Structure formats: structure tokens, C-alpha cells
Amino acid sequence: MKKIFTILSVAAAMTVSAQSNLFAGSDFNDWTAFQSSLGFDLKSGEQSAAGGVGGTGALKITDNTGTSNIYVMTANKNMNVTGINYITLKVKGVAGGISFNAGDGTAAGSKYFNVPAGTTGNVTLTATGANSYTGSINTNDWVTITLDLTGVSWGSTPSFSIKLQKSSTNALFVDDIKGSATLAVADFAKTNSILVKNTVVGESIAFAKTADIQIVNAAGQVVKAAKVTEGSTLNVSSLAKGVYIVTGSVNGEKVSQKVIKN
């Protein structure tokens, strides 16, 4: 039987594993629940009742007019971190000098995630040893920031923070801070044509870029991994019929496509 792969336009975020709120109120639809998870007062942030994804609630990060870098928020209560390997959050708008902290609150157990300067699309961040405050975001559409928690130690006092550069101008909406055991694949509609070259194939996928790729099934399992080059093909005739996600890193940006094998 002829194998057909159809690349679908992904209109909304898709995950290959179950996600849950990172802490109570982290979808910002219950502001009281969100406040109950904070260990410190909210700074340069305010409630947005309808600024979130689909007109739901959101956290709006506003200007930091002070002369010091600040913690916008630190959630260290009601945390749901058991078994998670990734944190994802949706952002839209403008921010200067933003970064994230995750861990047990100690210098040894905590890790830092710095947003690249000029971020306009989805990005996956790996942990570093310090906040740089050099990252900036400018996007009119919702994009997904993914934090790879490799090396993070939650200990008995897990916490998650958003940090902001001093004297920065911001109008950034944050929504749906989630934890996931496996990689959450978000809407990469803007880059759907970058990684996979052909939309209908026989027994192999043709690639438009050089990348280390993984093919993930609907259960969140990596069923095939390979290094592909521009113009090369990958035989996938052994895969069962169903929905898969092809992920890879192209020019430092994580891209993903949803494919169906018939």
C-alpha cells in the first residue's frame, strides 16, 4: 500500500504528552489561585482578564522603571513538578531583558534560562549558570517558550521565577505556564515548510534543511531519530499508520511538523 504523508497546517498548539499547570493559577484564569502560589509580591506585573490565548486571562508584564533587575514573580507554593522535564509558556508582545529561573531556590540546584535577543518566534532554551538579562521579545502573535529542565534540581522547595532587566520597557502577555514529561510541540505554522520538503511522499520523507531530527508518536515516544542533510531522504516505511511529530533544530530554532501516515 502506498504510504502518504500529509503535512498539516497546525492552527493551535499540539502536545505529544499530557501537560498540566506548573502551579495553581498558572493559566491565569483564577487570579486568586495564582496569587496563592507566589512566595513574593508581584512586581512590574498585573492581571489581564482577557489578554490571554483565546481571550482568557493572562499575566501582563509591564515596565521595570527601577534601577535594579527584579523578580516579576516567584511561584514556590502549589508547585506541580513531579516527573516533568520541560516547562512551556505562551508569550505575546514586547519585553526587554527577560529570563527565567527554575529549581530548588539554591545556587547549586537552580538553573537559569536566557531568552535570545530579538526573539520573534518559538524557542527552546537550555539551562545556563546565570541570568544575562540581554534577551528581548517582540511578537504580535502567540509564541511558545520551552525550557529544557536538564540539570534542574527541584528538591523539597521547588520554585519558578520570571526575571526582568532594570529600566526595561515591557508590554508582554504571559499565559499557560505548563509542565510536561515529554517535549511539548507547539504551533510552528510559520516554519512548517522549513524542515520537511515534500508534503506527499511514498516511503520516505525528504528534508529541506540539515538537522538532527526526531519522529515522535502520539504517545510521546521517539520512534526514529537521525541526522539528515539538505536534500536527503529518510525511510519511514516501518512506521505504523497514525499521527507523528517531526522535530528538529534549524539555525538554532526548534521547528516541528505534524505528519500523518496513511
In the predicted structure, residue 126 carries a pLDDT above the cut 80: yes
Pairing of strands 123-125, 136-148: parallel
209 phi and psi angles, rounded to 5 deg: -140, 160
pLDDT of amino acid 66: 95
Joined grid coordinates for residue 77: 507554593
Please answer whether residues 225 and 213 qualify as being in contact, where contact means their C-beta atoms are separated by less than 8 angstroms.
Answer: yes
- The amino acid present at 180, given as its one-letter code, is S
Please answer whether residues 89 and 13 qualify as being in contact, where contact means their C-beta atoms are separated by less than 8 angstroms.
Answer: no
Name the H helices within 23-170. Answer: 31-36
| Rounded CA separation 225/134 (Å) | 33
Give per-residue pLDDT as tens, 182-209: 765 544 444 444 687 665 666 888 888 8
Name the H helices within 65-167. Answer: none
| Rounded CA separation 216/243 (Å) | 9
pLDDT range class, residue 53, cuts 50, 70, 90: very high
pLDDT of amino acid 83: 93
**Residue 160 CB coordination number (10 Å):** 26
Q: What is the CA radius of gyration of the chain?
A: 19
pLDDT of amino acid 15: 43
CA distances from 225 to 73, 123, 212 (A): 38, 20, 8
pTM reported for the whole predicted model? 0.68
Which value, to the nearest 10 degrees, does the dihedral of the CA atoms of residues 41, 45, 50, 55 take? -110
pLDDT of amino acid 13: 41
The angle at the Cα of 244, spanning 242 to 80, to the nearest 5 degrees, equals 115
Q: Which residues of 76-92 are buried (b: 16+ CB within 10 A; e: fewer)?
A: bebbbbeebebbbbbbb
Give the DSSP H/E element, type plus range, for residue 194.
helix 192-195
